[in-house]
Structure 1
């Protein structure tokens, strides 16, 4: 087992399920002290057991600035600095143009854009010079999806955060990259597609459109996140790395 993150401090927002959970577990297995966030305490408790190692959970909604402050207060009680921030918390619902409400717009942008912005900005006093920031984007940042325009717009914003922040942070040698998963087997995806047989049918159809012939697994996305966060990617900066079985390239 590699130990690329031995004695490193890593923050993973949205770490109770799916890609966030798999990535937090991968960081822990490579020796990191990991802090995860989530909205529901019971989900946090279950995630801590599943992740193992040196993991701490902080309940909070990253769209709320006070909750972000509590997260970094918790980190600071145990550690002097942070090595990696994986700003992963996010989500969205399918709503077609013509049915978009102000509430839908506000909630999606607050979670996916405001939350990412202030998760990173409020980390800066603790973030080590030469550290790494990874943002969760999506293949929707470059491709159209029916009834998904608001979510897609937030992910395009996240991708552009990476482009701009590498300039803001260049004097501190902090790298910022975006990971953009394609269809990935998560509870959130099943919920988005209506659950049960409906979700399975939709996933089977969409898998046939992917050059790899299947949808991804959270552990596959996690491996890419760890690469971007590690010294192996020391000259990789500002990129959007698609982990999607080739779907965004055709």
Structure 2
């Protein structure tokens, strides 16, 4: 039998990078997978990459209305789920004196508010023994210049992992977080569209990482699946996957 045969999974933020890599591993192991994203191009790309066996759904992770619609669709398609991977997130690097209220709200809406309500609204569909995995960030423990609001929003999400784990433990649902460091995904180029700037940022970050390289989306996916299906006596924890940056 395939490793994830019969498992039903929702990945919020699954049309590229870490979410897409996780979806591919799950589908390869026999799971049924629904991924969400916002951009039409991203949705079309993900459908092409994942094939017709995956459900690719347009949903804004910041919108409670969209989350409600997603819950209804998940119930129709899957009835219940075994894993919720809340992966949507984005950083807008901004120095202190340039942070606006709009940037502040955007960082918290996407990186903490949306994930909190996604768990709240999808938890009733989760099977006993199921798992929630949240994507935090090395920025929640490192004082990274320009990342004040992003780091704080991810720190809030780290706190949610503990509290939600405590609230859901009586239902035998585990809640954990995976904390990526610099990962080789399209996000860096999106944040820094100037290729020279992106290359300089990459070189500087590699110099800070003890393992002297970026991680891969597949390495994050393996950590997510470990927390979801193998770490059966672990809840409320955060697993750093950052080349030792937060630890050494």
Normalised-by-shorter TM-score class: over 0.9
Superposed displacement of residue 208, structure 1: 2.2
SS in 1 for 2:15: coil
For the pair 1:142 / 2:141, whether they are aligned, the reply is: yes
For the pair 1:237 / 2:235, whether they are aligned, the reply is: yes
Superposed displacement of residue 217, structure 1: 0.9
Stretches of structure 1 that go unaligned for 5 or more consecutive residues are: none
Superposed displacement of residue 53, structure 1: 6.0
For the pair 1:151 / 2:150, whether they are aligned, the reply is: yes
Alignment-derived partner of residue 121 in structure 1 = 120
Stretches of structure 2 that go unaligned for 5 or more consecutive residues are: none
Alignment-derived partner of residue 244 in structure 2 = 246
Alignment-derived partner of residue 4 in structure 1 = 3
Aligned positions, number: 248
Alignment-derived partner of residue 45 in structure 1 = 44
SS in 1 for 2:145: coil
Superposed displacement of residue 126, structure 1: 0.7
CA RMSD in angstroms, aligned pairs only: 1.3
Q: Is the Cα contact below 8 Å between 2:166 and 2:236 reproduced in 1?
A: no
CA distance in 1, matches of 2:130, 2:139: 27
Give the 5 Å matches for 1:147-226. Answer: 147-226=146-225
Closer, same or farther: CA 9–236 of 1 in aligned 2, 3 Å = same
Per-residue displacement from partner, 1:214-245 (whole Å, max 9, x unpaired)? 01111111110011111x21011111100011
Task: Give the TM-score of the pair, scaled to structure 2.
Answer: 0.96
CA distance in 2, matches of 1:42, 1:203: 26
Superposed displacement of residue 152, structure 1: 0.2
CA distance in 2, matches of 1:170, 1:240: 16
Q: Is the Cα contact below 8 Å between 2:133 and 2:227 reproduced in 1?
A: yes
CA distance in 2, matches of 1:33, 1:69: 21
